[in-house]
Structure formats: structure tokens, C-alpha cells
Amino acid sequence: MSNALRIAVLPGDGIGLEVTPAALAVVDAALAAAGAPPLQQIPLSVGAQAFLDTGTDFSDEARRTCTEADAIFLGAMGLPAVRKADGTEIVPQIDLRFLLDLYAGVRPTRAIPGVPTPLADPRAATIDFALVRESTEGLFASLGKGYVEDDARAFDTQMITRAVTEKVSRFAFDLAERRAERPAGKSRPPKVTLIDKANVFVSFAFMRKVFDEVAATRTTAADRMYVDASTLSFLQRPWDFDVILTENMFGDILSDLAAGLIGGMGYAPSADIGDGHAVFQPAHGTAPDIMGTGKANPTAAILSGGLMLDWLGTRHQLPALLDAGHIIERAVDAAFATGRLRTAELGGTSGIREVTDGVLAAVRAGA
Ligand code: ATP
């Protein structure tokens, strides 16, 4: 029996169906370039189209395959016109976070050479931070539990637990320490910045207290910032951030702001990580407005493939996979640094084919 690592592949809907094969082609090429064996890919039909076809968006069998896989790669899911009987959206990607206890949502945010940022300051070219969004509690703990009283008052309740805050804080410090070991030029002094609203809400004051307890056990620098002030820092000096840790809802909002700093959703990869499982997916949605036009930017999905190889390489102590992950990052940089690629969301005409071919060529040229 093959002992290849097994990847559950969930392309999903909309441009998820387009960017997933692009990302996996780059993953295959990077593995070959690094001398590593290919991954075994198990395609699964999950999402809005699966719901239309079968009446269920995320079958028990697909759940079991995801649970047993070594990693999960996801495109994007949901379509505006497809709703469940109660009117709610099809969001198996959120179900997965709860099913597999993926408490750390990691959104690496790095300026890619050759991709314009909306900030005029030249230091924007050095933006390189990772936002860690706690992904199983916070305000999202209220998912499916909010209620309206007498058509007069509505309630959603935030929950912060000690156990998850300790775990995700330790995760953020570990991540900062790993990032500091990157090759010269990429490394920066490790620091974890907690973003909260501890001056107003008891739940955030508790989150900060638990974070401080974890920080006291580490040598890495710790900082704290209120969420309102953080939005100013995101615009005025985002290059000063290293690792950011924040609550689920704040992370939902701040991660889109972060993507905006480096060119938009098409450049924002993500990893949802737990103790035993991880899902890798571009941070964008299914973008129904451009699906089927060839305009989708596959960079976020390609970089998510690189994050998957990095995570698998670390977890299974396979240096060739770590190399393959680095190859993907370098190839993306090399492809865009030529200045010939300008994607549609930035006013250019480079679509999925051109970007994928550019990155594949860079992988093969030994970027
Ligand atoms: P969701 O609610 O799941 O986030 P959405 O359609 O509201 O879905 P996105 O799918 O992220 O949000 O799209 C927001 C906008 O960004 C759309 O106008 C879309 O065209 C654009 N966009 C998103 N991803 C890409 C991409 N990879 N390449 C080009 N444009 C993209």
C-alpha cells in the first residue's frame, strides 16, 4: 500500500473549482522540484453544488474522509442563490473548523514584489506579518444560537475560554519563534501582538489576562493593542507587526483589511490549524461575479498549497516538503517580480492561466 500523504481536496464552488487545480499543479511541480513524492489527492464534492446534486452539502462520508486525511485543501464554497430550507448559507468550511477543532486561523500577509499595495509609503514593500484568528469561539460561539426576543431585542453572546485562549496564545508564540528562524532577510524580531477590546468588555479582559499568563512563560516579546487603535496601525505602520493574535470576529474583519494591504483577496492564503488537523484554502470566497471568466487570481490558492506543504513537512519531519513549500513562495515572488503579471483585480489582464503558467515556469526554472 502506498504510504503517500493523503490530501482531501474540496474544490467547492465558483472560482474554487478554478483555483484548486491551479494550486495543485504548482504543488505537484514544487514537490517534483524538491525531490519529494507526490501527495495522494482524494477529490470530494462538498458545497453548494453538492447540495443541489445530492441534497446534502457535506456528506457523512466526506466528513469521514476529511477526518482521516493528512491534510485538507479547500477551494471556496457557497453560491448566493443556493440556500438551505431555513435560508442559511452553505458553509461547510465553517463546519470543518468546529468538526476538527481548528482553533488557529492563520493569515500570512506578505507584500509580494511586483504586486502594488495601496499604501504610498515605500516601507509597504516590507509588510510581512501573520494574523492568527481564534476560529472556534469568540462572537462566533453564538453561531446558530443567537435569538430575538419579542421582535424588540436581539442577542448574540461572545464566549472566550481559558483552554482555547491558552492554546491559541501558545500557537502564536510558537509561530513567531518559527518565523524568526527563516532565512536572513525574511526574519524579524519575533513579537506577538494581542488585539482586543479589553478596556470595555469582560470577555476581552479575560482573554488578555490569559494571554499575559502565557506571555510570561515565553521570552518572545508580547504587545497588546485595542482593536480600534489597531486599524490605524494597519494603515500607518503595518510593517511593524510580526504575529497578531485576535478574537474570531475581529480576525474576520482584520484579515480582509490585511488582504487589502497586499493586493486583495486574490493574494491572501490561509491555514486553519488544530492539534491534529489542518485545512488550507485561499481567504477569498467563490466570487460568482467572475467565475468562468478566467479572471480569477490563483495566487492565494497557490500560496495556501505552500502553507500545506510547510505544515505537513513540519508535522511529519520531511525536509523535502519544507523545501517544496519554500519553492512555491519563491516562485510566486519570481513570477510577479518580472512586472509582466498584473491581475484583473488590480486593473490588469493576467488571468488564471497566465499567473499559473508564470509560477510553474518559475518553479521549473529553480526559483
Ligand atoms: P464570501 O462571502 O464567501 O467571502 P464573496 O463573493 O462575498 O464571498 P469573495 O468571493 O471573496 O467574496 O469576492 C469579493 C470580491 O473580490 C469579488 O468582487 C471578487 O470578484 C473579488 N475576488 C475574490 N477572489 C478573487 C480572486 N481570486 N481573483 C480575483 N478577484 C477575486
Q: From 219, 237, 261, give the residue that closes a domain.
A: 261
pLDDT in tens, 142-192: 988 999 999 999 999 999 999 999 999 999 999 999 999 877 666 678 999
pLDDT value at residue 94: 86
Q: From 232, 261, 290, give the residue that closes a domain.
A: 261
Q: What residue ranges line ligand 1, CB within 6 angstroms?
A: 15, 78, 265-266, 284-287, 289-290, 296-297, 300, 344-345
pLDDT value at residue 2: 59
pLDDT in tens, 100-114: 999 999 999 999 999
What atom in ligand 1 is closest to the CA of residue 14?
A: 10
pLDDT value at residue 1: 41
pLDDT in tens, 31-47: 999 999 999 999 999 99
Three-class SS state of 147: strand
Q: From 226, 261, 296, give the residue that closes a domain.
A: 261
pLDDT value at residue 308: 98
User: 305: CA distance to ligand 1 center in Å?
Assistant: 19
Whether pLDDT at 86 is above 90: no
pLDDT in tens, 263-278: 999 999 999 999 999 9
User: 57: CA distance to ligand 1 center in Å?
Assistant: 21
Predicted TM-score (pTM) of this structure: 0.95
In-domain check, residue 154: yes
Nearest Cα residue to atom 17 of ligand 1: 287
Question: Mean pLDDT, to the nearest integer, of 315-332?
Answer: 96
- If asked whether residues 132 and 255 sit together in one domain, one would say yes
Nearest Cα residue to atom 8 of ligand 1: 285
pLDDT value at residue 182: 77
Exposure pattern of 330-366 as b/e (b: 16+ CB <10 Å)? bbbbbbbeeeebbbbbbeeebbbebbbebbbebbeee
What atom in ligand 1 is closest to the CA of residue 298?
A: 27
Question: Mean pLDDT, to the nearest integer, of 87-111?
Answer: 92
Average pLDDT, the chain: 95
Question: Mean pLDDT, to the nearest integer, of 82-87?
Answer: 85
Question: Mean pLDDT, to the nearest integer, of 64-85?
Answer: 95
Domain that holds residue 169: 118-261
Residue to substitute in 20, 57, 290, 352 for testing ligand 1 pocket (most ligand atoms within 8 angstroms of CB): 290
Closest listed residue to residue 277, CA positions, set 136, 108, 76: 136
In-domain check, residue 267: no
Give the pLDDT band (50/70/90) at residue 88.
Answer: confident
What atom in ligand 1 is closest to the CA of residue 282?
A: 27
User: 287: CA distance to ligand 1 center in Å?
Assistant: 4
Q: What is the CATH number of the domain that holds 335?
A: 3.40.718.10
Exposure pattern of 48-61 as b/e (b: 16+ CB <10 Å)? bbbbeeeeebbbee
